Amino acid sequence: MCKDLSKRFGEIEALQGLTLLVPRGTIFGLLGPNGAGKTTTIRLWLGLTEPSGGTAFVLGRRIPPREVLPQIGYMPQDVAVYGDLTVDENLALFGRLVGMTAESIEDRTEEVLELVDIATRRHHLVSTLSGGMRRRTSLAVALLHDPDLLLLDEPTVGVDPELRAAFWTYFRDLTRRGKTVVITTHYMEEAARCDRVALLHQGRLLAEGPPSVIKQRTRTGNLDEAFLALVRGEREPRG
Amino acid sequence: MNARRVLAVAQKSLSQFRHDKRTLVFVVGMPLLMVLAFGYTFGGQVHDVRTLVVNQDAGPMGARLVQNLTGDTLSLASYADVASARAEVEAGRAWAVLWFPANFTQDLLGRRAVLRLLLDGTSPPIAGAVLSSVRAAAQTAFAGTGGAAVLTLDSEYVYGSSDTRFIDSFAPGVIALAVLMVTTIFSVIVIVREKTGGMLERLFSTPLAPLELVLGHAAALSLIAVAQSAVILVATILLFQIQIVGNVALVFAVLLLFAVGNQGLGMVASAAARNELQAVQFIPLVLFPSLLLGGVFYPLEAIPGGLRPLAYLIPVTYANDAMRSVMLRGWGIGDVGIDIVVLAAYAIVALLAAAVFIRRQA
């Protein structure tokens, strides 16, 4: 999805020569602490910011990918739905912006609201909902048009464990239908459920591959330890 | 460019207004308040204007009109001859003389009567009050015989002169100012609000283009501006008996172009602002030059020569000129062609500029 991608904000190098390939039909985790470059990567893929160097491709198109945008579902880290619109109105707006018909919006709205478990609140103003419900509304917007690629920036923050499990089941279903799901997270135990993960640290790629392979390679028991081992290894190169 | 996306944004913007009851009250209330404030301050709801009646009419119609001069605007006194009544006005002891000639009733039945008025025109609000009272009385008194249409008011200004009432002359401008104020206030907030909530980025992660966003917002705000203009227009007609001799549709067309331009300009400021406080500071920057230099209260000819070119850079100058010409002079689209072209250019340039500024922000 990107080759030698860099992004600089003034003095800060948010991303330094990132090269990644996200296979279709997988759940792909972008992991790393705050400031690792996860969100920057997603914004670059969406064409929301210009790269300082390198190139990015999304669904086979070089960005900025205006014509592929309708096939992408995006859930930003901050809740980005209109508080002064109802849940329904938010879904209708974004559905229309990606070119859905009124009927398909109607059908899909019911489906995704059931999934994120806020169907009973569909006529409520988003500003009257709890923080968790707002995030679920934001996720519903991203899922509405059944996109080929989902870019979800910390989708499960503030979501209770039961619902989180339901989300993961749904994401897994999506990949079976050939959809690709990219998730950023700093929960390593969640990352372990991804097909492949990329570990980012200070804008650089530390490792990429299936979680089990990364653990094996670093001779660690979980991704947390793997991450720490890789960071240590980067500071004190072996040999 | 996709009309469906523009419509989606417009509808979203209107839904946001619909859910915001306080703003809805503001949308209707503020222009009404402006009209009332301007109308009563400048329109001069004057009382007890000493007016002398010289009724030499052989028939009953002169007396009938006088009977219909009700209310406390005029304080009437009868005089037998014009010369002594005129002397009272010249001496400043009366503001006006109504003189019904001997054949007034007969002429009226013949459908072309003339009522002679002697006026002290030094105070436009007072002269205006006399004229509007007489017009209103004639409308009621002669309802059966063709209304005020058959009556010509032959006004002679003893002092001063005026073709129109003061309020007549500035009502079109006040409507334009109200539209300016409301469109600027809303548009200046609209983009910065999207920006601070992270919504601008969210919107641009869909295929929505900056120009589509701008047009969508402009469409929604224009609808509101037109509705407001209608409220203002009806209010001025009902409260201050403003006469519109021109084409009302043309009046709205002028207002619409003006509103769209203001929205574009407001959205440019909104896109440049980092927060709502910065955005709001833009409002007086637009409002004060428009109030002072736009020709609404002072004619352009009264603006000092050095500043006058500035007046021609201010859109309200053209809106005011067009509105005044259409509403008061009854001019058609060809007569206000230059104003329309300038306002249309303003609208197009402002919208495009807004789209460019917003694209830079995203």
Check whether A239 has a pLDDT greater than 50.
no
Check whether B79 has a pLDDT greater than 60.
yes
| pTM higher than 0.90 | no
Report chain B's mean pLDDT, rounded to a whole number.
84
Q: What is the mean pLDDT of residues A92-108?
A: 94
Whole-number pLDDT of residue A4? 63
| Residues 6+ positions from B98 with CB-CB distance below 8 Å | B51, B52, B53, B54, B55, B66, B115, B116, B117, B134
Residues of chain B with CATH 3.40.1710.10: 49-159
pLDDT greater at residue A181 or residue B227: A181
Q: What is the mean pLDDT of residues B43-59?
A: 81
Whole-number pLDDT of residue A33? 83
Report chain A's mean pLDDT, rounded to a whole number.
86
Q: What is the mean pLDDT of residues B214-228?
A: 90
Smallest CA–CA separation between A85 and chain B, in Å? 6
Nearest CB to B199 within list A66, A80, A98: A80
- Cβ <8 Å between A98 and B206: yes
Structure tokens at B307: 């500043």
Whole-number pLDDT of residue B218? 92
Q: Point out the least confidently predicted range of A182-191, B42-51, B198-207.
A: B42-51
Which of A193, A187, A199 has its CA nearest to residue A226?
A199
Interface test mutation site (partner A, options B24, B189, B202, B360, max chain A beta carbons within 10 A): B202
Q: What is the pLDDT of residues A3-48, one digit of tens each?
A: 666 667 666 777 787 888 888 899 999 988 888 888 888 888 888 8
Q: What is the mean pLDDT of residues B131-152?
A: 76
pLDDT band at B20 (very low <50, low <70, confident <90, very high): confident
Whole-number pLDDT of residue B147? 57
pLDDT band at B148 (very low <50, low <70, confident <90, very high): low
- Cβ <8 Å between A66 and B15: no
Check whether B162 has a pLDDT greater than 60.
no
| Residues 6+ positions from B67 with CB-CB distance below 8 Å | B141
Whole-number pLDDT of residue B181? 86
Tell me which residues of chain A, numbers 34 to 53, contact chain B at a CB-CB cutoff of 8 Å.
43, 46, 48
Domain covering B49-159, topology: abc type-2 transporter like fold (3.40.1710)
| B9 → chain A, closest CA residue | A93
Residue A123, chain B, CB below 8 Å: the answer is: no
Most confident region among B72-81, B104-113, B348-357 by mean pLDDT: B348-357
Output phi, psi for B15, to 5 deg: -60, -40
Instruction: Give the whole-angstrom CA distance, residue A230 versus residue A214.
Output: 10
Could you give the percent of chain B with pLDDT greater than 70?
90
Chain A residues close to B15, C-beta within 8 Å: 85, 89
Whole-number pLDDT of residue B243? 67
| A138 → chain B, closest CA residue | B202
Side-chain-side CA neighbours of residue B184 (13 Å): 23
DSSP B161-219: --SS-HHHHHHHHHHHHHHHHHHHHHHHHHHHHHHHTTHHHHHHTTT--HHHHHHHHHH
Whole-number pLDDT of residue B166? 63
Residue B161, chain A, CB below 8 Å: the answer is: no
* Whether complex ipTM tops 0.95: no
Whole-number pLDDT of residue A237? 56
Could you give the percent of chain A with pLDDT greater than 90?
37
Q: What is the pLDDT of residues B243-269, one digit of tens each?
A: 677 888 999 999 999 999 999 999 999
Chain A residues close to B11, C-beta within 8 Å: 93
In the sheet that holds A149-153, the strands lie side by side as A72-75, A149-153, A180-185, A27-31, A196-201, A204-209
pLDDT greater at residue A182 or residue B293: A182
Check whether A63 has a pLDDT greater than 80.
no
Q: Point out the least confidently predicted range of B31-45, B129-143, B154-168, B304-318.
A: B154-168
Check whether B201 has a pLDDT greater than 70.
yes
The answer to whether residues B134 and B117 touch, using CB atoms and an 8 Å cutoff, is yes
The answer to whether residues A85 and A126 touch, using CB atoms and an 8 Å cutoff, is yes
pLDDT greater at residue B299 or residue B178: B178
The answer to whether residues A216 and A204 touch, using CB atoms and an 8 Å cutoff, is no
Check whether B21 has a pLDDT greater than 80.
yes
Residue B45, chain A, CB below 8 Å: the answer is: no
Q: What is the pLDDT of residues B304-343, one digit of tens each?
A: 778 888 889 999 999 998 988 888 777 888 888 999 999 9
Q: What is the pLDDT of residues A188-208, one digit of tens each?
A: 778 888 999 998 888 888 888
Chain B residues close to A92, C-beta within 8 Å: 8
Which of B27, B292, B312, B311 has its CA nearest to residue B177?
B292
Output phi, psi for B121, to 5 deg: -90, 15
pLDDT band at B125 (very low <50, low <70, confident <90, very high): low
Chain A residues close to B201, C-beta within 8 Å: 43, 48, 76, 80
Q: Point out the least confidently predicted range of A144-153, B181-190, B239-248.
A: B239-248
pLDDT band at A212 (very low <50, low <70, confident <90, very high): confident
> Is A77 buried (19+), middle (13-18) or exposed (0-12) by CB count in 10 A?
middle
Check whether B53 has a pLDDT greater than 70.
yes
Chain B residues close to A84, C-beta within 8 Å: 16, 19-20
Structure tokens at B153: 């008011």
* A·B CB contacts under 8 A: 65
Nearest CB to A82 within list B4, B199, B208: B199
Which of A174, A168, A170, A175 has its CA nearest to residue A192?
A168
